[in-house]
Amino acid sequence: MNRLADRVTLITGGAAGIGKATAERFAEEGARVVVCDLNVAAGEAVAATLGPEASFFRVDIADRRAVQAWVEAVVARYGRIDVLVNNAGVLRDGLLVRFKDGELVKQMPEEDFDLVVAVNLKGVFNCAQAVAPVMIRQGGGVILNATSVVGLDGNFGQTNYVATKAGVIGMTRVWARELGRHGIRVNAVAPGFTLTEMVQQMPEHILEGMVARTPIGRMGQPRDIANAYLFLASDEAGFITGEVLRVDGGIVVGT
């Protein structure tokens, strides 16, 4: 099929993991894919595999001016932006506070909280705000945001990450209301445990625990998430907006 023929698609954090899989999946369906990331070598390598219409930009999505310059460069080259996939994100896990023998021994560093918020929440805001005027002027588009099952359920040791992913859900629903009259659909995807390069480096017993908590009996593959993005970006999802699609194998997130 050619469900995204010639649609200009921006994918943040597209150098690896779910972002890379999404770039590949969208290119298979005819999209002209624009990848951004901080990892230049990996990002350029991904773009090189996607054909002559693909391109890579080094962008720090936490930097509003850098995002605006990226969007302007994309419009100058491609003439339009049809889909934005806000995929980029970071982790800096830690307990809110850790006590031992009645004494405070550690707490989540403020800089870890601020970094995760800057990338995972403000970065999504930056990209959507820069792209929305382009989509409004051209008469429509699709914005897709990466949240997580932990943004819905919470998770031990992830105050900062969960806060951002819950915030992304809230922004998704606001933007669906604000931008719908302009022909722009806004949805979010909430992956469960997904076997990205980062996750593959975890100890075997941790991976086994993830599988044990997933009723379908396996971890997600990046392509599973990419397929969800593809559906939501396509005309098949033309009457879906303001939704959060869980792609999690039925996982139960607990303590």
Structure tokens at 145: 């945001």
- Compute the distance between CA of residue 175 and CA of residue 105 in angstroms, rounded to an integer: 41
**By the 8 A CB rule, do 242 and 147 touch?**
no
Question: Which pairs with CB-CB distance under 8 Å and at least 24 residues apart come from 164-169?
Answer: 164/89, 164/116, 164/117, 164/120, 164/121, 165/120, 165/190, 167/121, 168/86, 168/120, 168/121, 168/124, 169/244
- Exactly one of 56, 70, 78, 161 is catalytic; name it: 161
Report d(CA 219, CA 196) in Å as an integer: 10
Q: Is 161 a catalytic residue?
A: yes
Residues catalogued as catalytic: 161
